[in-house]
Amino acid sequence: MIRLFYNEIIKAFFKRRTYISFLLITFLIPIIVYAIDYGAVSLQNKIYGQMQDSFIFIGSIVNGNFSTYLIIAILISHMPFLSTIVPSEIISGEYSKGTFRMYLTRPISRGAVFFSKLLVVYLYTTMMMFYFFFYSLFISYLILGDGELIVFHNGILLLGEDDILWRFFLSFLFSNFVMLSVASLCFLFSSFSKNSVTPIISTISIVFIGTAISFIPIDIFEIIDPYLFTGYIDIILLSFYDPVPFDIFLNCFFVTFVWSLIFIAIAYFNFINRDIIE
């Protein structure tokens, strides 16, 4: 299994497309942080709004923590796109290129190949999410420095510098669970598909529908939303509530876990029994 996992790492990480997400994050984040820095005054005025009539603000609320919070909250809904890059191709790519015809003739079980591929998908997703969160934090700190974080939850909530980092860890952890579900879904489509485009389109379509259900205020949607993994894509916002609603985080864990399990089980059954005729 370790040898198979090592092989899958080589197969995935020697491909250029694996690094698209990392490159995108690397270039995009500094641009956004510089833009926030450049427009800090105007941004600050928009946030303060009419509050300036009631409060006296000393210093700037636009700092590294605020910038990171803003970047993650805005870009998190786009991360499913990036999380499909590796899983979309990891099985379907081998079907379409015919490499399975040689690889699966070796004295290895298909089940072991399946799980080594799944591990690589999870490794990639976690690395990408970690990089997204903490690279944003690093660049934001580097350019804008430290400071208190102002968020809106039941009014204005001011979080102290020592009360912020663990919240970023918490949001990373649970956002990652959601992305692992997205990656599992894409992995499932990859096990059925003969090309890498179909899994991406199918996954994003489902995420889009799921997200729409979360945002449309209709009773029936509000009932089913807690049971959909897509309903937790913006769970990062909840990490900065006070107190943190841990029951929702627990729900998030169970829902994403169950959905991932369902996706993996179907993919496994299909992969094990599929004829390699391509």
Q: How far is the CB of 271 from other proteins (least distance, A)?
A: 11
Assess 4 for contact with other proteins (CB under 8 A): yes
Residue 16, judged by CB atoms within 10 A of its CB (0-12, 13-18, 19+), counts as: exposed
Length of the chain, in residues:
278
Q: Which of 209, 204, 202, 197 is nearest to 179 (CA)?
A: 204
Q: Least distance (Å) from other proteins to the CB of residue 3?
A: 5
Q: Residue 199: is the preceding peptide bond cis (ω within 30°)?
A: no
Is 11 or 117 the residue whose CB approaches other proteins more closely? 11
CA dist., res. 241 & res. 167, Å (int): 9
Spacing of C-alpha 237 from chain mean position: 14
Residue 10 touching other proteins (CB under 8 A): yes
Q: Which of 39, 98, 226, 245 binds other proteins (CB under 8 A)?
A: 98
The distance of closest approach from Cβ of residue 23 to other proteins in the complex, given in angstroms and rounded to an integer, is 17
Can residue 276 be called a binding residue for other proteins (CB under 8 A)? yes
CB 124 within 8 A of CB 114: no
104 binds other proteins (CB under 8 A): yes
Sign of CA dihedral 241, 242, 245, 246: positive
194 is an interface residue for other proteins by CB under 8 A: no
Binding mask 109-128 for other proteins (x = CB under 8 A): xx------------------
Residues binding other proteins (CB under 8 A): 3-4, 6-7, 10-11, 14-16, 97-110, 273-277
